Amino acid sequence: MIEEIKFNLDKISDFWTHYLWDYQKCRNEINFDKEDIKTTSFGNLMSYLGDTLEVIENNTETDNFQSAFSYHIGLLQAIYIQQDLILELLRIFGCNITKGQLYEDGDYNINRNLRNELVGHPIRKKRIEHNGKKIEVLKSSVLMDIHSNSNEIAYSRYHINNNYSFEKLSYKIEDIINRHYSFLNTYLNEVIKKCKKILKGFRKRVENLQKVAETQSFETIVRLTEVDFEKILDSYYIYDPENLLESYRRRNEHIRYQNNVDQFLTDLNSWIAETLEEFEYAFKERIFDSKMTKPNDTVLKLFAENDETLIKTLAQTDIEKKVSYHYELGKLGHKRSYSDFQFFGGLLRDKCIENSKVISEINHMEKNLQNDLEYHSSLKLIRKFLNEK
């Protein structure tokens, strides 16, 4: 059961990374409005859930009271922490499950009450009405039994509801842990249900964008992409919506602007195809498949054989080295001073001295160091001329 819990935690983290973090439309489906969630709290929450699982699992067989006592305290506190973290996870994902509803679940409240009694408040008071005044009286007190061991929590209790008569109580560790694992899986699956719902809606939007890209105007395509799929617009400077629309208006003025339009549409269609293909994986493996699968031995063997064949082929083949422009283009892709441009642009000029088209675009870049559209349009066109991605 513990492996299933870890698998479910991985699925939720994966969904967060691949969809919620990148797309506002997906984030709108959860409670993503607070700055703490936008920064580190989700990652901290998931890490804490993983770390405290190790505490729960780490039960060493012992009859030593002190060792057992330490484990019992750690176990109950780890369960308590995880219960609070699950409640926060349910809140973040908008699952509409409250703490009051959790208390109706025996997998939650039995362990919760046990922790509160033994760890949180071993001596508890309550306020009662006495002679017209509110006074505090003892509600309960507990003491761990020296016969507790790694398999059982045993303790003595004196409780007001039992007229402070002596009670001896015991709970099997296996039952406590199984209850808690059942609780975790139940509510992690509630979060995964929400992930499925969001993913289904997002898939429909991607499919709609695919239809729009085939039939609608360029401006409509850009505006829809801006609203629903901002990740692709963030992938390159000239994919800013206004830069794209400006490129479209000037597409007959120079090839560099038509290239912007063509490259955007090519990248968009590739992104749509890859995303829809990824959905097939997500629906079957990442989010929707509850089964854990191991790598197929045959597949692993094929990979190993292919790697060996490739190494032999490379060793036997004289590979002609191709001139690379990757370094210079990479450096020019970042905002740079005039002197930086002179240096890295100069390196590229030297390599392309006989390529008049490239030299012309380098000159255009030099004249437009402060104009993102012009500078990066030329850079993107140079990449096309040199067949560099």
Rounded to the nearest angstrom, the gap between the alpha carbon of residue 350 and the centroid of all alpha carbons in its chain is 45
CA distance linking residue 294 with residue 185, whole number of Å: 21
- Rg of the Cα atoms in the chain: 31
Residue pLDDT tens, the chain, 389 long: 888 999 999 999 989 988 888 888 888 899 886 665 555 688 889 999 999 998 898 877 777 888 888 889 999 999 999 999 999 999 999 999 999 999 999 999 999 999 999 999 899 888 888 778 888 888 889 998 888 888 899 999 999 888 889 899 999 999 999 999 999 999 999 999 999 999 999 999 999 999 999 999 999 999 999 988 888 888 888 899 999 999 999 999 999 999 999 999 999 999 999 888 887 776 565 555 555 544 445 444 444 555 555 555 545 544 445 678 989 999 998 867 889 999 999 999 999 999 999 999 999 999 999 999 999 999 999 999 998 76
Task: Please answer whether residues 45 and 85 qualify as being in contact, where contact means their C-beta atoms are separated by less than 8 angstroms.
Answer: yes
Residues 176-235 pLDDT 10s: 999 999 999 999 999 999 999 999 999 999 999 999 999 999 999 999 999 888 888 888
pLDDT tens digits, one per residue of 157-168: 999 888 889 899
Across-strand partners of 171? 153
Let me know: does 152 contact 171? Beta carbons within 8 Å: yes
Report the distance separating Cα 47 and Cα 376, nearest Å: 40
CA 35 to chain centre: 16
Strands (E) across 204-333 are located at none
β strands within the chain, DSSP E: 123-130, 133-144, 152-159, 166-172
Which sequence spans correspond to the domains of the chain? 2-187, 216-292, 326-385
Q: Please check whether residue 252 is in contact with residue 284, taking contact to mean a CB–CB distance below 8 angstroms.
A: no
- The dihedral over CA atoms of 244, 248, 254, 259, expressed in degrees to the nearest 10, equals 60
